[in-house]
Structure formats: structure tokens, C-alpha cells
Structure 1
Amino acid sequence: MRTLFIADLHLSENHPQITAAFFSFLEKETVNIDTLYILGDLFEVWIGDDERTPLMNQVAEHLSTTSHQHNFNIFYIHGNRDFMLGKKFAKQSNMTLLNEHTEIDLYGRNTLILHGDTLCLADKSYQKMRKIIHNPLLQFIFNRLPLSLRKKIGWKIRTASQSKKSDKPRYIMGVTQSEVARLMVKHDTLQLIHGHTHQVSQNDFELQGQPATRFDVGDWFKQVSFVEATPSQTKIIIHPINYYAPETDEALNS
């Protein structure tokens, strides 16, 4: 029995090595798992389910085919780059969409899962922007704009976000511990799993006199990282980005 958590792959046509690693991961790591949780930002940018690039179609096909072949469930929490990902793509991918903060029973342990951007309160400029782009009325209007215009807006926002991110100190991009504690107390949990910060880590601390743990899943730009949970333990696994490549398998067998 295994459950896996991934986040922040930021799939795009510009990084085929990440896409290849993801497809190999699906084929090799999802054998004998119960569930795969994708905690947001699977794609670099998402402007609507009506944009269907070859990459999007390939990802949907791989998710659907692998989950049916290996008989596991896929759940998805939106990230800050793909918060417009909708029910149509989710259905095609055989995924179930979850609320931004979701409690799950992880082999008898109540666990809070989320993308993680709501934890980064020190990043005040992002939090202000987040309130704007998550406004239901603005999303309604945006979805009714021509696809070509949405593409321009989406990539403009992405470029501006990357530029601002490169200028921010690492501590601003990290989580705010007081917010971590507040949410964990609110959801009555001692275990939290998230992405967004790209700072893969396991953080152990004390919460109301009890040992608690926060897992940061990490991104896939230079390595493959994911959280694996079993009935006996929860841990982070890290591999080189080409770990699942065919030549790796040949080298191991030689």
C-alpha cells in the first residue's frame, strides 16, 4: 500500500526532459499504489480547458491510461499557475478536483494537503495578486475572452511573475510558520503536505506539545522529488531528473 504526492512539475514544451521524466514516473512508480495526489502547478500555465495543445493531450492520455491500467485514483489541487484547470480536463485525465485545503485519512493519520501558496504570507505582493486572480467574477470574464487574448494575458502574467520571483529573497518565498501552525490546529492535524515553494524538505516541529511534520514536495526542474506514504511511514524520495530514463535501466542491468 502506497500513496504518492507530487507538485510543481511546470510542464511545458520548453522542458521536454521533465515531461519525459513524468511519463516514466507514471509508468514505473504507480504500480501497486492506492492514490496519486497532484498538489498543483502540473503545468507552467493554464488558460482554460479549451486550449488543447499536444502536450496537454499527451498528459491527459498518460494520466488516464496509467490510472486505469494500474488501478489507482488521482486527485488534484490547483496551483497558482494552473488554477483555471477545469472539470473537462480533469475528466479526460481521470482526475478528481479537490478543495484548496483538503483533509485526508492517510493510513489512519489525518493529513492536511494543499498547494502551499496560501502559506507564504511574507510574499505580500503575491498574496494581493492572488486575491485578484481568484475573484470568481474576474475568472468568469476571463473565461469568456477569445483564446488568443487569454494566451497573451496568461503568458504576460507568467513572465511578470517569474521576473518578480527572481528578485525576492528565499525567506519571502518560503512558508510562514505561524500560518502553518494555525491551519494545522484548525484542521486538527499533525501532518501537512504541500508544494509551491520548490524547497523540498521535511520539517519536524512541536505543535501544542505534540510532534508535527510538514513535508514540502519540491519541484522537478533539476530532480524528481515526491512524498511517499505507507501505513508505516511518510518520507520524501529524491531522484536525478533522468532516473527513469531507459539508459539508466540498461546501465543498472549491465
Structure 2
Amino acid sequence: MKGTLKKTALQLVTEFSVPMIISIAWTSYVLWGKELTVQSIGANFGGAFFFVSWMSGQFFRVRKQASVEESFGSVEKRLNHLIDELETKSQHMIGYITGGDSHLYFLPLQSVGNKIQWLACHSGEYPLHQVTVRIVDLEILLGYYKPEDQQGFDVRHDLGEIHYGANFALGENAIGDRQRLSFNIFTYARNGKFLQEVRFEKVAGVLLKALRITRSGGEVVREEIDLNFPLNAEGKVVWDRYETQWE
């Protein structure tokens, strides 16, 4: 209580000291050399004190309003910063839960014995969840190539959780005596479906590759084409040499 009264008294002294001094000076100036009466002193001092107090009050009000607006501006900046930070952390949390924009990339490695070995590589910032992969050999599927060992045209892998930065072998496919190979690799995960198209062509005895990864909806997330890989008249890879559909 005493602290509040003390602050109030100091505020009153601060706000009314200047009007008091100016009013006394004005009254002295106006009545200098004249007969002094209570009415003349009261009239001149009261009018001057009221006017100067009103002017100083406006000054203090404007200064306080400017201070409040500055405080509000500071609060607004802090709130905007907190909102941006919260949005960023929410996006990260959603990314960790769903997998975000991460995907699997299958690197084909030609191994001994005319076989292609697949190296699965995690790509992206977040882990992948509930991952299932299906590798389809289109030539075998459509009857353009019949392997001697009667292998099937597709292989399925249930991978489950894939951690950030993971790399691991995922099986192999026979090349045989083919001059061209076409594989579609379907990846299903919590964050959606991805299709990796891999096309091989033998050029001067060297097996060249072109690959493209698209998310369901048509967004291309990766594309790699070896130098000297055969292109069509428009200078593009013929990805749809066989009709491709999401499965």
C-alpha cells in the first residue's frame, strides 16, 4: 500500500511540477508592478495552470501511447517468432510420423554372373515407416524374355521401418543375354507411393542405365541418365516402352 502511494505521489510531482513552475512564472510576469489581489492572482495562476497542465497531460499521454505501441510491436514480433517456431516444429513432428518427403532410391549394381544387385538407399530427412517394395521385371512380365530358371516376374519385400541414411542390399535380378532391361520398382510407405523406373540398354557391350523416381501424382523426385544412353528423336528417354500403371 505504501509503495503504491509513494509511486502515485512521485507521478503527480513529475506531471504537475512543470505546469506549477510555468504558471508561477506566467502569473509573476503578468502581475509584475501591478496591485496584487487574491482574485487577480487566482485568475492568472488558475488559467495558466489549467492550460499548461492540459498541454503536459497531452504530452505524457502521447508518450505513454507511443511506449505502449512499441511494447505491442515487441510482443507481436515475439508472437510471430513463436508461431513460426511452432509451425516449424510441427512440420518436423509430422515429418517424423509420416516420413515427410523421404523416399527409397534403388541403385542398380551389376555383379558377377550377369546379375543386377539392388542397393536400397534412404533419401530424405525423415525415417520411413511401413515400407513395402515390389520389383517388377517388365520383359518377363510381358513375355519378351523367358529366363531358364523360370523365375517370377516380380519380387516383394516387406521392409518395415527404414532409418535415416540407411543403405542395404535388396536382392538381385538376372540379366541373361538381353540387350535391354526394364524394371519398375514400386515403393509403398506411410507417406505415399513411389515408382522408380529403371531402363537398361547395352551400347557397345556396356550396360547403360536411366532411372526416374516419381511420387504418385506425377512429381519427379529424382532422375539419372548415363552418358550416351539412347534417346528418342526429341532427345528424351523412352520411359513408357511398355505401358506402366500404378499397382
Q: Going by fraction, where is strand more abundant, 1 or 2?
A: 2
Instruction: Confirm or deny a common fold (TM above 0.5).
Output: no
TM range (shorter): under 0.3
Higher relative contact order (CA 8 A, sep 6+): 1
Q: TM-score, normalised by structure 1?
A: 0.23
Asked which structure has the greater CA Rg, the reply is: 2
